[in-house]
Structure 1
Amino acid sequence: MSADTQTPAIILHSPQMGENIGAAARVMGNFGLPDLRIINPRDGWPNDKAFSMAAGSPVLDAAKVVTDMAEASTDLTRIYATTARPRGMEKPVLTARQAMAEIRQAQMAGEKVGILFGAEKSGLPNEAVAMADAIITLPVDRSFSSLNLAQTVAVIAYEWTAEEGAPAEFEEVSDPASREDLERMFVHFEDELERAGFFYPPEKTALMTQNLRSAFIRGRWTTQEVRTFRGAVKALAIGRGKARIQRDD
């Protein structure tokens, strides 16, 4: 099994400072996490400050720079979002230690997992958090809860390594759906809902879509379940078309 499937991917969502990207890559190298994915870095790529701060970490040399969340998570079956704010979404909220134990079990069962980190000032956008299976929070002082990006990655990386000696108890997962499969299912379903006039009023479309996706993510879909659901959506769409024809007749 490759290193990428044995360890979680670290995903930096719209990071601002090259220094923080480099520091995150450096600590990932320290703790044996090779898979770094960077979404739309503010100051462009490559970034001299990032490479200087990485101090020769091989993680940065192999980092994948992508344009959006979908591209960063195509091959993943599970995502954890690091944020201090649950944002009112109905998602499990875990400590770093609890999350690393759960992630290790998922990895051992063949899943590919990503851990998502937000930008230094704004954190993670709601649409990114909606795509996560669970939220990771750290027990920081609520009066000063903002952590440096690289520091947060360091805490998670340490907890991952500390979990390495934990008992290997896990249950087999039956062919979990990739994020690419889920994204296609979401788009298919949302297109049909749009045609059916579900999104009303129009200004609430984004919120309604976010809530639907968040609910689906909690279901931990398998590839077969995605195929079945898309087949059901297609059948309903075809049936709706037949009903229109009959009414017209």
Structure 2
Amino acid sequence: MKGLFLHCGANIVEDYQQIIDAVTPQETDTHKPLPHHIFIDMVKNHFGDTMTITEENHSLSHEGARYFGLMKVERKGIITPDYSCVLGLRNSHDKKFPAALVAGSSVFVCDNLSFSGEEKAQRRHTRFMMRDLKGVISRCFARLNDHWGFQAKRFDAYKDFQLGDKEASHLLLRAFEAGACRSNDIKGIWNQWNTPNHPEFQDRNAWSLFNAFTENLKGNLNALPKRTDALHGILDIHCEVVNECI
């Protein structure tokens, strides 16, 4: 299954050796670049007996200076019928963004991705990065089960919240104002709401509207975490979803 490829962009890595061979620049007094494969290994080393990676995909851009990765995660004894848990990773050698890990989901029927800023870990490439990053990742993993438990509650609330066209259009405008989409995304999102690509989203509820957004946002993994986090903020308030773990 290669559904996560839809989000990684054009420079998909078919051979993991390309990640290992990506050139890491020399460090300076203020910039401590982290090899992409070392960051991936640091994340994988935190998986224990309760979580398993079932799929992973990786991409490189800007001549190997920027890395994006996605991992589908299965949790022991927990089954989610219509989506999977996902971890998103990114790292850069050109100071574009810090090494970061964020939790999210992927809907089975369409591979629509979303991320939530409630559970993320990141560290800039500065002095003591290696010392600090291990602790940052450990703390993130310690909270993942709580986060994904809330994610299930959130999605159930979206499915139970019925929406008419007027209410959906109002939420679309609010989401645009919050930065969940761009002005040139609005038409595509509205088309997905009215005539979804997948029959599973024909129900007139917040879950279908949510997937209208994520269907339209495919292919821009760099912007996806920020935009879907903003979208969750709008829909959580409207559907009265409260994260008691925060």
Question: Which TM-score applies when normalising by structure 2?
Answer: 0.30
Q: Which has the larger radius of gyration?
A: 1
Structure showing greater relative contact order (alpha-carbon pairs closer than 8 Å, 6 or more residues apart): 1
Select the structure that is richer in strand. 2
